[in-house]
Structure 1
Amino acid sequence: MTAEERRLQEDRDRTAYWRRWGPYLSERQWGTVREDYSADGDAWSAFPHDQARSRAYRWGEDGIAGISDNHQRLCFALALWNEADPILKERLFGVTGPQGNHGEDVKEYYFYLDNTPSHAYMKYLYKYPQRAFPYDQLVQENQQRGYHDREFELVDTGIFEDSRYFDVGVEYAKHTDEDMLIRISATNRGPEAKPLHLLPTLWFRNTWSWEEGSEKPSLHQQTDGTPADTAVVAAHHPTLGDRWLYCHQPDTLLFTENETNAERLFGSPNPSAYVKDGFHDYVVGGDRSAVNPEGTGTKLAAHYTLTLEPGETRTVWLRLADRADLNAPFGDSFEAIFQQRQQEADEFYQRLTPQALPEDRRRVQRQAYAGM
């Protein structure tokens, strides 16, 4: 029995809950029937992409390379900005059913490279352009094409010419069923030095605004007894309990609330001084008043501001755990755990895949499993 098979047996026996945390975050929650409260049932128009950064979801969340617990109470995903886009890149973009000449279609390039059934090891790759993302062009070109025309894709815009993009890899390795190591690596594939903002984000799904008397969870920065070169955020939820996010050398921590920006969307007063699109306003808009200086909220981002030379790779480390007393969260064991989980994933798929299959087809099959 491989290490991965032992973890699955422990999960079945409920001696450890290896599947409590996994890639359960949706790629798209906007424009879905889950969030549609319209009179005519037009989900696409009722909750468009342009509202997603400002409007709190009720029934789920979405994000890039995201994970959550199995009840999607606490979520983690990556946001990015290249100093060219008009909005913070917090979720994937695509054309809606009415906009696409073949219906709805995501217009991004991302790859699920590896995963195991216990989610003890997960690997994801996102290709982030360095030029401004062509949101309007993608919609307009696809809308004017007919059923028998090919779709207009992101690569057709020329945005990737001269390899002007970042390869952004996100990896997760579980030390235990409640201790997740996170490694985010960004590589500049282009010919010039370019800026890149990485915002690993931790937040609670808004479950408190819909029922009077619901207890609101909280995130706050922990300042006492934190390890060197590490920022620590404590997360408390009434049913999930307590977790701690360790961030290795962030430039700053940003806090806001996962609350709808009603003023922007509907012209009505906001329920909170800090709202869901606070990080967009802070990073892209330069509004320093958009985040909570008290270091508390229901949405948190560790902000890393990088400048990458051509071919350069930079890596940031984080760790989400059920312990507040990790004295060396990013010590030598951090990379060793990643290496061990990768090796265990190799062993698991070695047993699972037919031996007669050529190596290239084995890789295809393994990545197909990862995408499931």
Structure 2
Amino acid sequence: MPRIPTTEDRRLEEGRTHKKYWKRWGPYLSERQWGTVREDYSLDGTAWEYFPHDHARARAYRWGEDGIAGISDRHQLMCFSVALWNGRDPILKERLFGLTGNQGNHGEDVKECYFYLDSTPTHSYMRMLYKYPQARFPYEQLVEENARRGRGQPEFELLDTGVFSDDRYFDVFVEYAKADVEDILIRIAAFNRGPEAATLHVLPQFWFRNTWSWGRDLRRPIARRAASIPGTASVELEHWQYGKRWLLGAGNPDLVFTENETNFARLFNGRNRSPYVKDAFHEYLIHGNKAAVNPDPVGTKVAALYP
């Protein structure tokens, strides 16, 4: 008996014949761009040390981007992911943490708990689960304890730190569903698995990969606040390759804008190209520095704040 074609079969055929570009948007955002040869400009090839995790939140990537539960176009020019803050971490949780080859007792090793649950072949539906501790994330403990262990010892994992004790964590589910090729619905659902109420800030983020700071192509995309329908916040996104797109957030959240530019002042005691830099949302939310974000609702990076 012949198999009855499914809706996903139709999407695949439309993509194969170039009638519709169902795969233009998908889970193409890297898990990790820091500490890779893709961003290595060191003289001696020390990729792990040249671009460490501690730089990633404040230093613009050139060749790719990363994020948690993120999507992008196939060229990683327009990117979306989820950032989180439990009110205790010193930084936003916006990318996966792990050890480099020189830090891990068994080499490179991610130190997170996350699960890719579903994805259709055209990425018309995707779902991921990230488990975020309510206690301060043990960055230093993971580095120090693994450094003490030799090759013959087991790795010291996030579960071994005790941050998930008594189920004191959040299950954060991120789902994407395509109503059409360019119409993507996003649902972020967080569940407190612990015995008590706990703080969680959710920051859906959109940004453009920095393609304008390297001297080859000076064309600069822009994200700007747009007129919204009641009960939503709207951002107009304009890129020279894709034209205009719009991002709508339910619930009328506050929007904050900055630039996807390196914070030279923090990292290298240098001079910033812009007063608004890549790590602005860390400063704004965690340290209460309202001057870190652009008072004009424009930039190359934007976040919606859901407290």
TM-score of Structure 1 vs Structure 2, range by shorter chain: over 0.9
Deviation at 1:251, TM superposition (A): 3.1
Which of 180, 196, 200 matches 2:200?
196
Q: Report deviation, 1:213.
A: 5.3
Indicate the residue corresponding to 1:277 in structure 2.
279
2: CA distance, partners of 1:259 / 1:253 = 19
State the match for 2:108 in structure 1: 104
2:232–2:253 CA contact under 8 A, matched in 1: no
Aligned to 2:129: 125
Give the whole-Å Cα distance in 1 for the aligned partners of 2:195 and 2:251.
28
RMSD: 0.7
Structure-to-structure mapping, 1:122-271, within 5 angstroms: 122-211=126-215, 214-223=218-227, 226-271=228-273
Residue identity in the other structure for 1:94: G
Cα distance in 2 for partners of 1:285, 1:41 equals 35
CA contact (8 A) 2:72 2:79 kept: yes
Structure 1's consecutive aligned runs of 4 or more residues displaced over 4 angstroms after TM superposition are none
CA–CA distance in structure 2, aligned partners of residues 75 and 56 of structure 1: 13
* Uncovered stretches (5+) of structure 1, i.e. residues with no partner: 306-372
Partner residue, 1:51 = 55
Which runs of no fewer than 5 residues in structure 2 stay unpaired?
none
Q: Which has the higher contact order (CA 8 A, sep 6+)?
A: 1
**Is the 1:142–1:151 contact (alpha carbons within 8 Å) kept by the matching residues of 2?**
yes
- Give the AA of the match of 1:181: L
Whole-angstrom distance in 2 between the partners of 1:154 and 1:65: 19
Q: Of Structure 1 and Structure 2, which has the larger fraction of its residues in helix?
A: 1
What is the identity, as a one-letter code, of the residue corresponding to 2:210? N
Calculate percent identity across the aligned residue pairs: 64
Q: CA deviation at 1:214?
A: 1.6
Q: Per the alignment, in what secondary structure is the counterpart of residue 83 of structure 1? A: coil
- Map 1:56-71 onto structure 2 (within 5 A): 56-71=60-75
The answer as to 2:89 corresponding to 1:85 is: yes
Asked if 2 retains the 8 angstrom alpha-carbon contact of 1:250 and 1:304, the reply is no
Give the match for residue 293 of structure 1.
Answer: 295
- The count of residues paired between Structure 1 and Structure 2 equals 303
Task: Work out whether residues 233 and 253 of structure 2, in 8 Å CA contact, stay in contact via their aligned partners in 1.
Answer: no
Aligned-pair distance for 1:241?
1.2
Report the Cα offset of residue 249 of structure 1: 1.4
- In 1, the alpha carbon distance for the partners of 2:195 and 2:174 equals 23
Q: What's the CA shift string for 1:18-60, capped at 9, x where partnerless?
A: 0000000000000000000001100011000000000000000
Three-state SS of the structure 1 residue aligned to 2:306 is strand
Using the size of structure 1 for normalisation, the TM-score is 0.81
